[in-house]
Every structure is written in C-alpha cells, then in structure tokens.
Amino acid sequence: MKKKYFYDIHCHVFNLSHPNFMAFIQRFNLPGLLFLNSLPVIGFFFSLFLNEKLANITNLLSIMDNDLGDYLLAMEEKDLLPLLKNGKLYVGAEPYDRFVLTPLMMDFGAKGNNTYPNIWYNKMPHKAIKNQAIDLFNGIRDYQKKSSHHLLEIYPFLGVNTRNYNMESKDGHVGLVDLLNKYFSDYSSENIGLRHKKLHSRMGDFDGNIDHLSNYAFAGIKVYPPLGFDPWPGDNPEELEKVRYLYGFCQDRMIPMTTHCGGVGFSSVNSGMYKKLVSPLKWKKVLENGFPELKLNLAHFGGSLNTLFIDEKMAQIVDLILNPSYENVYTDFSYLCFNEKDYEKLKNLIQRLSKGSKSNKERIFSRLLFGSDFMINLLNAHSYQEYASSFLNSSAFSEGPIDYRSSFCSKNSERFLF
C-alpha cells in the first residue's frame, strides 16, 4: 500500500556554531532575564515565570549543543516514537507511516560591517552558510546510519539572501546564477511522486564535500527578510534584478519558497525596517509583478492570534490566498499554536476572515500548513513531542466527518513541497 506522510514544513536543524551566537541569545533576551533573576526581591509569580523562561532557554541550548545527527535522533527517539501506535502516527483516524521534515537553513552570513552594541569584542563574525550546509548533510547521513526506525525523511531548504551574492560568479565567489543551477537546474514541474522519489533517493548521500552536492539535495528555498533580505527592493535596480531572477527561476521549476512573515524573530535590522521587510505587502508586489504562480509559504501566518484586533499581516495573507489569480500561496502556523486554546483562536480567526463564506473558508483551509518552528518553539514549549501532541490531540478543525487537520499536515504540504 502507498505510504502516507506527515509533514512538518517549518523546522530548524542547526547547532550553536551556526547563528551569530551573541545576537541569537539577545533574541531570547537572556541578558535581561539573567539580570531580573539576580534582583534580590522579585514577586513569587514573577519568579515562577522567570524560572520557566530560563528553563526553556536551557532546554533549547541543550538540544543545540548536539551535532545534527544526534539532534535528529533525539527528535525521532525521544519525541516521536512514543507518539506512535502500532508503528504509525495517528491524526484522528488517519494513520501516517513516515514523518517528513524540511529544515529551513538560514543565511546568517551578513555582509558588511555589523557590530554588537555595548560590548568590547563587538565585531559580528561572518558565518558562512556553507559550514551550516556541511553540518546539516553530515547530520542527515549520520541519522540515516544510526536510526533503527527510519521514521524521518529530511529535505532541507537552502537559505538564500540575494544581497550576499552577485549575479555572476567572480574571483572565487559563487554567484546567484551558478548557485541556483548547482542545486536546482534539473527541477521541472514534475509530478508529486517523481520529485519525492528523487529527493528520497538522494537523502543521506553525502561524502562531506559540499562540491559533490547537486540536484535534489535541497527541496526548496528559504528567505529571511529580518536578516536584510528585501523581497521587493523596488528602489534598487541591482538588487531587484537578483530577486526577479530568483523568483523566475523558482516559478519556472515549481520550487517552493518559504519566507519568514510575522511575529518576532532573529533580526539584524532596526524595528522600522523589520516591519517593512516582513510585510506580506512586499510579496503582493512580487506576485503582481510577473510571479503569480510562485509557490510561496508566508510563514507564521502573520505571527499573532489576537482575536480582539486581527493582525494586519494575517488579514493581508488571507487577501493573497483568496485572490483567484494566486493558486500557490500558502501559510504555515508554526510558532503560533501551542495548545488547544490557540487552535480554537486560529479557527475563530479564519472563520471571521472568511466573512461567512464557506468557499472562502475551504480555500484558506486548503493553504494552511502545519509547522513547528522547532527548536525556536522551545522558548514556549517543553519539547517537540509536546508541540506535536497539541496538534495531534486538537479537535478544533473537525467538522462532522471532515477533519481538516489531514490537509494541514499532509495534503497541502505535499502539494506545496513536491
């Protein structure tokens, strides 16, 4: 019988050496929390809150202290295996045989002279994405070798910041054209089964030399505007040419692209710039200006479940999804739903954004993707298992005989990914 796949379309597999560590811990506000924790008199409930936050951060740093093979094995053995029944993962009555992860690489290698504020050794190190890729593919290979269950299939997304590339290769620096050709030149709009098969046949096939990686090593592309990637740099012809090339390349070959779109995140730009760069309106420009068929996942669905004032990014994403010209716009709800209350809120918001129309609601449901944002989600969850369980146990999206969760974790993701 045909295997069935559960997809986590948004997770991260990197270790402590990959991000700019100082900026990374600032993202957790660790210095602030430690300072508060050192105050002699703080309220009882506040100290409980602080202890929980610090415990979460310790847990997060601990998983990131592993090499990536052990990181993946921990996800399989400690988090997922206990959730299986008779060797299968159940979403309602629906059994799944395998668990597909698409780790999103991030290009932390900011060019230019960034510095950290307020410290003596303030030069931000250059973090080459190449090293992250090598560690990730070594990790996938080691997982393949060591796992006795082979529950996971792992298809990374290549992190690209066009600002860090010239169009053409020059003086030993690889250009955007060559980069994309190296990894994606053979991609076409092949059928779902075929692309999956090709990716699977390459999984774990790595000899440690990145020059030997090529087509079907990566399943898609990740861009991350808070690190300076501008999705539509309308006032900068040189940068615009590069992003146009990237979108055209991906659209022609149906290569999926995920972008950070909402909430907070690791950032190297000021808050005004951050707001501008993560706006879905930037992507509206992309879709309008020649790339209406781009396969796009606007991650985090705007990033807020505020039911009092609907987040404007969430509303803008829904506008794009409901636009009949755009058949390939998706959104994942990673780092958004940690418990049943959150899923109820999400359902409530979608109901309101559908404006009472059943076909609107069904269209939104057909573009939602399950994602975890692991290991970042450990800031709010104790484990991958806990985060996944709240989805597996949720009843918010069951309507009579229909359980929309199987669209979010499987059907939609399969269409997006392959």
| Residues in touch with Zn ion (CB under 5 A) | 373
If the CB atoms of residues 135 and 373 are measured against Zn ion, the closer one turns out to be: 373
The nearest distance, CB 170 to Zn ion, in angstroms, is: 32
If the CB atoms of residues 233 and 371 are measured against Zn ion, the closer one turns out to be: 371
CA 257 – CA 178 distance, rounded (Å): 18
Alpha helices in 203-290 (DSSP H): 237-253, 271-277, 280-288
The nearest distance, CB 242 to Zn ion, in angstroms, is: 23
The nearest distance, CB 371 to Zn ion, in angstroms, is: 8
Q: Is 310 helix (H, G, I), strand (E, B) or coil?
A: coil
The label of the residue with tokens 């059928």 reads 191
| Peptide bond between residue 375 and the one before it cis (omega within 30 degrees of 0) | yes
Question: Please, which residues have CB within 8 angstroms of residue 211's CB and are 6 or more apart in sequence?
Answer: none
Asked if 302 contacts 259 with a C-beta cutoff of 8 angstroms, the reply is no
If the CB atoms of residues 12 and 53 are measured against Zn ion, the closer one turns out to be: 12
Sign of the CA dihedral 12, 16, 19, 24?
positive
The nearest distance, CB 314 to Zn ion, in angstroms, is: 17
- If one counts every other C-beta atom within 10 angstroms of the C-beta of residue 293, the result is 18
If the CB atoms of residues 142 and 373 are measured against Zn ion, the closer one turns out to be: 373
The nearest distance, CB 317 to Zn ion, in angstroms, is: 16
If the CB atoms of residues 142 and 332 are measured against Zn ion, the closer one turns out to be: 332
CA 313 – CA 24 distance, rounded (Å): 25
Q: Indicate left, alpha or beta for 279 from its phi (over 0: left) and psi (-120 to 50: alpha).
A: beta
Asked if 187 contacts 254 with a C-beta cutoff of 8 angstroms, the reply is yes
The nearest distance, CB 104 to Zn ion, in angstroms, is: 6
If the CB atoms of residues 8 and 293 are measured against Zn ion, the closer one turns out to be: 8
**Cα–chain-centroid distance for residue 347?**
21
The nearest distance, CB 10 to Zn ion, in angstroms, is: 6
HSE (side-chain half, CA atoms, 13 Å) at 83 = 28
- If one counts every other C-beta atom within 10 angstroms of the C-beta of residue 254, the result is 18
CA 129 – CA 108 distance, rounded (Å): 7
Sign of the CA dihedral 372, 378, 382, 384?
positive
Query: Distance between the two ends of the chain, CA-based, in angstroms?
Result: 20
Asked if 227 contacts 106 with a C-beta cutoff of 8 angstroms, the reply is yes
Q: Where are the beta strands (DSSP E) in 119-166?
A: 152-154, 157-159
The nearest distance, CB 287 to Zn ion, in angstroms, is: 22
The nearest distance, CB 374 to Zn ion, in angstroms, is: 9
The nearest distance, CB 138 to Zn ion, in angstroms, is: 22
If the CB atoms of residues 7 and 249 are measured against Zn ion, the closer one turns out to be: 7
If the CB atoms of residues 373 and 414 are measured against Zn ion, the closer one turns out to be: 373
If the CB atoms of residues 153 and 373 are measured against Zn ion, the closer one turns out to be: 373
- If one counts every other C-beta atom within 10 angstroms of the C-beta of residue 177, the result is 16
The nearest distance, CB 238 to Zn ion, in angstroms, is: 28
If the CB atoms of residues 79 and 373 are measured against Zn ion, the closer one turns out to be: 373
If the CB atoms of residues 282 and 300 are measured against Zn ion, the closer one turns out to be: 300
**Two tokens at 61?**
């740093």
The label of the residue with tokens 């610090």 reads 54
Nearest residue to Zn ion, scored by beta-carbon proximity: 373
